Amino acid sequence: MRAKASVEADVSQVAVRNDSGVTGTGRPARRVARSVGAVLAGLLVNALLSTGTDAVLHATGIYPPVGQPMSDALFGLATAYRVVFGILGFYVTARLAPDRPMRHVLWLGVVGLALSTLGAVATWGKGPEFGPTWYPLLLIATVMPCAWVGGRLGEARLSAARRA
């Protein structure tokens, strides 16, 4: 007579490889969705706050009507709040990332760098209503430093929450 063996195993942390070769812990689709959502949330925070502030400043007369040239000082103001809103957007991405927050922040930084570059190419030499030439270059130059600051702030907040 043959003896029967009983085997018990904890499979909650077993890595699985799907057909595409991606390794995860059994829920890769949900993790990917959360990662994409974290990046999109940070992008939306930045875009909505920046365009909303632009609209308020135009409506209140601080900025001239849309399509009219602005002074360098007003473009400096726009740069300042875009930097703050950018940091906030990267912070949101870091806080919402399911894991490795700085990796998510850097992906958003790459997206921001691409969008800023496309904006600079689309408006370059189109006239004074699109601003001075330094403005789009400064937006491009500030993307990754903002990503680093926002990501570090998000990581610090996550570390403090884990210690508490």
Tell me which amino acid residue 115 is. Answer: L
In a domain, 124, yes or no: yes
In a domain, 68, yes or no: yes
Q: In a structure prediction context, what are the per-residue pLDDT tens digits for the chain, which is 164 residues long?
A: 555 555 554 544 444 444 445 555 556 888 899 999 999 999 999 999 999 999 999 999 999 999 899 999 999 999 999 999 999 999 999 999 999 999 999 999 999 999 999 999 999 998 888 899 999 999 999 999 999 999 999 999 877 877 77
Number of separate domains in the chain: 1
* Rounded Cα gap, residues 129 and 6, in angstroms: 76
Q: What is the dihedral of CA 109, 86, 65, 121, to 10 degrees?
A: -20
In a domain, 2, yes or no: no
In a domain, 114, yes or no: yes
Q: Which residues form the domain of 156?
A: 29-163
In a domain, 17, yes or no: no
* Rounded Cα gap, residues 94 and 110, in angstroms: 15
Would you give the distance in Å from CA 55 to the centre of its chain?
22
Contacts of 122 (CB under 8 A, 6+ apart): none
In a domain, 159, yes or no: yes
In a domain, 3, yes or no: no
- Among 56, 48, 41, 73, residue whose Cα is nearest residue 150: 41
pLDDT digits (tens, 9 = 90+) for 93-134: 999 999 999 999 999 999 999 999 999 999 999 888 889 999
What is the token pair recorded at 112?
A: 């921001």
In a domain, 7, yes or no: no
